[in-house]
Structures are given as structure tokens and as C-alpha cells.
Amino acid sequence: MLKIKTKSQFSSEYGFGSSSAVTVCTVKALSEIFEVEITEKEIFDLAYKTVLDIQGVGSGFDIAAAIYGGVIYFVTGGKIIEPLTVHPVKSLRGKFNGVKDIPLIVGYTGVKASTSEIVKQVKAEMEKNPEYYERLYDDISQIVEKAKIAMENSNWQEAGKLMSENQEILKKFKAPSVEYGVSSEIIEKLIEACQKAGAFGAKLSGAGVGDCIIALGENKEKIQESISQAGGIPVSVDIDYQGLKIEN
């Protein structure tokens, strides 16, 4: 019998990749117990297969984020996993920001969402109107390519603008709600609050409908306060640049 205990800096209710992180750690722990040498890509393949076996759906990005850490350029299924180097550039205030100064803000909607159920609903809609969704995914793909360049240059203003553009496209998805696509009333409310507080941009995180939103902006405290006032819960996070590691 193998007993596994997990802990987190914030609640698993937030829907922020916790199940993928646990899966990755379990694969690595088992490899250590049985003294099996395993590469990062092999860990990804095993963990991703586990997610698909259980959920039936998933891009694998959360798996890659847990393994590699930092900022990643990722193509569904792990076809491409490319860690990005973020260079320091001047901020709006004229100061140089280092790699660990990514101005990321996270807000929890208070609504727990099922990634697998949302993805399945969207997939069902895609089968009804494949050309419509192909156009949306093409638009998203172009935004991702632009965002890759913006992030490599630490151009957070541009990255935030692209996040907002992506959010507008996600609202065009027809499932599970008609009015907001894979967004929702509370997600839109938190995003609007972030923008009014001076965020460069904001979007839903993950499959949508509930869980978290992410924003980029220099005045973190003001944006976090705006999330609280709008009915959300600010989540204090730091970027983990090391990724998967063994601690004593």
C-alpha cells in the first residue's frame, strides 16, 4: 500500500492546475522509489496519458507547467514544449524589471468548474459547426504567436492586450452558455474590474465558466483590491521558475 499526502499554498477549489501537479509529482515519486531514470518529456507523456485516461480530455498544458516551470510556449498534447527566456526591459515607470517581475495577478471567481465537462460541451458544439470553430482557433493561434514574442521581450503591455483579445474570442464559443461563451457573468465582472484598475489585460484561466481569471498589470495591490470589490478572491502567487524538483 502506498499512501500519498499532498499540500498546497492555496485551496484546490481554485481550479488552477492542482490535479495536474499532483499527477506529475506522483509519477516522479514512483520513479524515485523504484529507481527508474526518467526524463522530463517521459514524465510529461506518462502524466498526460493518466489525465486522458481519467478525464478523457485535456491539452496537457498544466502538466507541462508543473514539470518545466517558468514561462512556456506549448502546443496541445506536448507537440511543442519550449521554455521561454524572459528578458528584463523597462517598465512604464522607467525602471528595469527582472525575470521574476512578471506582473501577474490571479483572481478566483468563487465558482468551481469542471474542465472535462466544459471541454466535452465545446467539443460537441465543434462537431456541429467545425468551420466556425476552426476560424476561432486560427485566431487564437495567431494571438499565441504574438504573445510568445511579447513575453520573450517582457512586453507586458502588449501581452496584456493580447490576453484581452483572446478573451473576446473565448466569448464567441457557443457552449456551455449562450451569452458568455466559455466565459461567465462573474468572469466578465472580474475582468472589467481589473481593466478599470489599470490592468494591461485579463482573461479567464483554463476551461472557463468559473475557477480563476488572470491579469497583467503593474499596480498589483490596486488590481487585487478591485477583484475583491467585484466579488472575487485575489490569490497571491509567485512564478515558479524551477518546476518539478525533489525536496528533503
Q: Residue 78 carries which DSSP code?
A: G
- The candidate with the shortest Cα–Cα distance to 116, out of 29, 213, 244, 208, is 208
Q: Could you list the pLDDT tens digit for every one of the 248 residues in the chain?
A: 778 888 777 776 776 788 899 999 999 999 999 999 999 999 999 999 999 999 888 899 999 999 999 999 999 999 999 999 886 544 555 554 444 578 999 999 999 888 888 888 888 888 999 999 999 999 999 999 999 999 999 899 999 999 999 999 999 987 555 568 899 999 999 999 999 999 999 999 988 888 999 999 999 999 999 999 999 999 988 888 889 998 87
Domains in the chain with CATH codes: 12-235 (3.30.70.890)
Residue 212 CA to residue 141 CA, distance in Å, equals 22
- The candidate with the shortest Cα–Cα distance to 27, out of 9, 4, 57, is 4
CA-derived radius of gyration, the chain: 18
